[in-house]
Structure 1
């Protein structure tokens, strides 16, 4: 895989947001699922931002530059997500805004300078010469570079980064799926993205109930196969039962794997489903996928 990624990868489908002001840490502590006290200039934080029913507006990758806190979020949700976050900022000294003076690009394999990889061996991020480097460990070491420099034109397409996120199991929350899923329905408890010891935050009661009282009955899965079309985000798939096909699941993301109709689909399904179950794109006889 390293040979494929000999140059940087576009992250044009993601957006950088800054939360500044003296109350930014206290404010975010009351809004996200993870513990902001674990965030530092050398440690990132993965979390969800939920509504008061525990349904996710988005997932967030947070990092710190000086006194400011930044997060990376899907571009399709950012306008609504910031608006929902800002509703609770009225009495806090914080400013929440999309970033215009910094750019983000992805580095994988041969595109990661050896000096950067070495410095990230025991930490998850650092800032040097006004450039922040953020390490993602899955499905292999990746680096997000946050830089004031303009983005070059010769980048690998966004879909290459999306495929790696699908392989890593990171949920992709786009606008069609906002405020529909609990964090546990996307397996965030397995990625250390939820703190069950911190104080109150928006949606905490429902997130805790899902964890300790079995209120969540769904999980996120990746299925692969062949299809001449990709399923639409937010749509359902069909799975085969005796006597025909039944509608089920929520599609979070999908990507082409090759030029021969190979596809990879991230989908939320009821837990306990038979792993031998065949799936297809809704109503499409030219698609077959399995776990």
Structure 2
């Protein structure tokens, strides 16, 4: 649990599978981290490291992307945006110790400083989130410079706030007056329902970008030129070598599915490992929902279960189309 606030307590909200999500919630994004990149060569350096097109990223936009190893396996999935005098690179904290040194490996040859930030990360969620951002901060665009930091629009019901330690308490106090307070599990639920991928330490270097649907989320540029792992990513598109995709599954569970957990699939009368949990959320009524990497040729009526458990799980519809031609 984060300890940056002396007056606000962020706890998990008890939600059943059928409950509406809060109209406005302030989320403490413990478990997430931020890398900053500043310097004259920040754009060109990052362009050669990641899957997304950094050069074309407008000042008021953000993008998903992946940072891969030379074999095309992902070290992280991140959201990139303009922040202060450089870029903000929002990702899971659990991969920071291994991924950040790899991102910095060749920076000595460029005019770029790459560091982990100590800024406070908050989420504002719900149907009233955008109106509250407009009211409190003003401005226009999906990425806005605000007092003390940056506000980044994630989707129709979510904003990411990156705030200096000096401003975080004051800004959070203003927003908390009208919002429910939640820990980061509410953010997890949004990500899962919207099928937004992530890489945690337990799944680092396991998936190529298309196996987590990044081609369907405009997180891969196939025209930008070379970057680390680009050959594998291109072969997956043009030669069809990728045999996996990320799906939403749900079912009864006595515990919250964790990244790296095994999901089994039914094969006749037997069960075999079917995939790997990417992120999970447990509801208050004994149901759970998760993102999972699975073979992309399974029958639609395939049944699943968490390894070591008997309860049957089923695949749910994705909120977007998996389009390899994208």
Q: Do the two structures share a fold, i.e. TM-score over 0.5?
A: yes
- Is the CA contact (8 Å cut-off) linking 2:130 and 2:159 kept in structure 1? no
Change (3 A) 1:84 1:246: same
| 2:3 alignment partner in structure 1 | none
| 1:289 alignment partner in structure 2 | 313
**2:81 equivalent among 48, 63, 76:** 63
Could you tell me how far 1:123 is from its partner in structure 2?
Answer: 2.9
Change (3 A) 1:84 1:282: same
Could you tell me how far 1:110 is from its partner in structure 2?
Answer: 5.6
**1:222 equivalent among 248, 256, 261:** 248
Mapping 1:149-160, distance limit 5 Å = 149-151=167-169, 155-160=181-186
Task: Please give the secondary structure, in 2, of the residue aligned with 1:78.
Answer: helix
The alignment of Structure 1 onto Structure 2 pairs a total of residues equal to 286
Structure 2 spans left out of the alignment, 5+ residues: 1-18, 316-326
**1:147 equivalent among 152, 163, 168:** 163
**1:37 equivalent among 55, 68, 87:** 55
| 1:23 alignment partner in structure 2 | 41
Distance 2:243 2:127 in 1: 41
- Is the CA contact (8 Å cut-off) linking 2:265 and 2:303 kept in structure 1? yes
Could you tell me how far 1:170 is from its partner in structure 2?
Answer: 0.8
Distance 1:271 1:129 in 2: 45
Mapping 1:127-138, distance limit 5 Å = 127-137=145-155
The answer to whether structure 1 residue 270 and structure 2 residue 287 are counterparts is no
| 2:261 alignment partner in structure 1 | 235
Could you tell me how far 1:283 is from its partner in structure 2?
Answer: 2.0
Change (3 A) 1:2 1:125: farther
- 1:136-176 Cα deviation digits (max 9, x unpaired): 12xx4211111222355973011110010011111121001
Mapping 1:110-121, distance limit 5 Å = 112=129, 114=131, 116-117=133-134
**1:280 equivalent among 294, 305, 309:** 305
- Is the CA contact (8 Å cut-off) linking 2:50 and 2:68 kept in structure 1? yes
**2:68 equivalent among 40, 45, 50:** 50
| 1:104 alignment partner in structure 2 | 121
Could you tell me how far 1:129 is from its partner in structure 2?
Answer: 2.6
- Is the CA contact (8 Å cut-off) linking 1:2 and 1:109 kept in structure 2? no
Could you tell me how far 1:22 is from its partner in structure 2?
Answer: 1.3
Mapping 1:157-236, distance limit 5 Å = 157-236=183-262
- 1:55-74 Cα deviation digits (max 9, x unpaired): 10001111112431111010
TM-score of the aligned structures, taking structure 2 as reference length: 0.82
Bigger drift between 41-50 and 151-160 goes to 151-160
- Is the CA contact (8 Å cut-off) linking 1:46 and 1:62 kept in structure 2? yes
| 1:7 alignment partner in structure 2 | 25
Change (3 A) 1:113 1:53: closer
C-alpha RMSD of the superposition:
2.2
- 1:253-282 Cα deviation digits (max 9, x unpaired): 1110x2221000111111111121111111
